[in-house]
C-alpha cells in the first residue's frame, strides 16, 4: 500500500513512520509536513506544505494513495478554544477534504486521544473539539475512517521526537496501569491492519488498537 502520514516531526507521526518504513505491507510513504523530516529511505517521500489550508495546490502529488494516517496535532495547554479549534478541527477537516477528493477509495485514520467527547457537549474544551473533529471526519466520503484514541505510548528505538518529561510520565503509568500503555509499533501496525483487514468500530480505544495490531 501507499500511505500519507502527517506529523512526522512529532512523536506519534514519527513512530507511525518508523513502523511504515519497517512494515513489508507498505510500499511508499509520503510525509506531508510544515517542515522537513531528515531521513533517507527508499520508501520515503516528502511534501513540504507550510499551510495545510493550501493543500489543494498540490493535488497531483496526492493521488494514488490508499491511506492517510493523520498524526499531526497540538497541545491545548494555555490555548483558547477558538485557536485550538482552528488548529485542530479546521485544519484537519480542510486537509481531509482535499485528500478524499484526490483518493476516493482512501482509508483515513485520525489520532485523537483518550477521553475524547463524542457528544461535543462536555466540560473539557479539548475533548469537545476532538469529538467534533472525529464526528465530522466520519461524514466525509472515505472508504473508511478510524479514530484512534491512544493513551501513553512507548517509542521506537531511535525516535528523535521524544521529550524527556514524557519518559517520566510513561514510566509512572507503566508501573501503576500497564494495560493503558501502547507501543508506537502497535499503533502503526494497527493503522496498517485497519487498511488491509478493516475493523468493526470507527472509534478505537486502547484495547481495540492492541487487538487490531495483532489481527
Question: Cell digits for 8?
Answer: 512526522
Angle between helices 125-137 and 91-102 (to 10 degrees): 10
Structure confidence by residue, pLDDT tens digits, 14-26: 999 999 999 999 9
Domains in the chain, CATH or no CATH each: 2-213 (3.40.50.720)
In order of 52, 176, 213, the CA distances from 117 in angstroms are 25, 25, 24
Dist. CA 105–CA 192, nearest whole Å: 15
pTM of the model: 0.93
- CB–CB of 120/88 below 8 Å? no
Which of 48, 46, 141, 55 lies closest to 90, judged by CA?
A: 55
Structure confidence by residue, pLDDT tens digits, 126-177: 999 999 999 999 999 999 999 999 988 888 887 787 766 566 666 666 666 6
Amino acid at each position: 500500500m501507499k500511505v500519507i502520514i502527517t506529523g512526522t516531526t512529532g512523536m506519534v507521526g514519527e513512530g507511525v513512520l518508523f513502523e511504515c518504513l519497517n512494515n513489508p505491507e507498505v510500499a511508499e510513504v509520503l510525509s506531508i509536513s510544515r517542515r522537513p523530516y531528515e531521513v533517507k529511505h527508499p520508501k520515503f517521500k516528502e511534501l513540504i506544505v507550510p499551510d495545510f489550508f493550501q493543500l489543494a495546490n498540490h493535488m497531483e502529488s496526492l493521488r494514488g494513495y490508499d491511506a492517510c494516517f493523520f498524526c499531526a496535532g497540538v497541545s491545548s495547554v494555555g490555548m483558547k478554544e477558538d485557536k485550538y479549534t482552528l488548529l485542530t478541527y479546521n485544519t484537519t477537516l480542510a486537509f481531509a477534504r482535499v485528500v478524499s477528493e484526490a483518493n476516493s477509495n482512501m482509508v483515513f485514520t485520525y489520532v485523537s486521544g483518550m477521553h475524547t467527547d463524542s457528544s461535543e457537549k462536555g466540560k473539557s474544551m479539548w475533548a469537545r473539539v476532538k469529538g467534533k473533529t472525529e464526528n465530522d471526519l466520519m461524514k466525509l466520503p472515505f472508504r473508511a475512517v478510524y479514530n484512534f484514541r491512544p493513551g501513553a505510548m512507548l517509542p521506537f528505538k531511535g525516535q528523535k521526537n521524544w521529550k524527556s518529561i514524557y519518559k517520566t510520565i510513561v514510566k509512572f503509568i507503566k508501573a501503576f496501569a500497564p494495560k493503558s500503555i501502547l507501543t508506537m509499533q502497535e499503533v502503526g501496525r494497527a493503522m496498517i491492519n485497519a487498511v488491509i483487514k478493516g475493523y468493526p468500530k470507527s472509534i478505537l480505544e486502547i484495547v481495540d488498537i492492541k487487538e487490531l495490531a495483532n489481527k
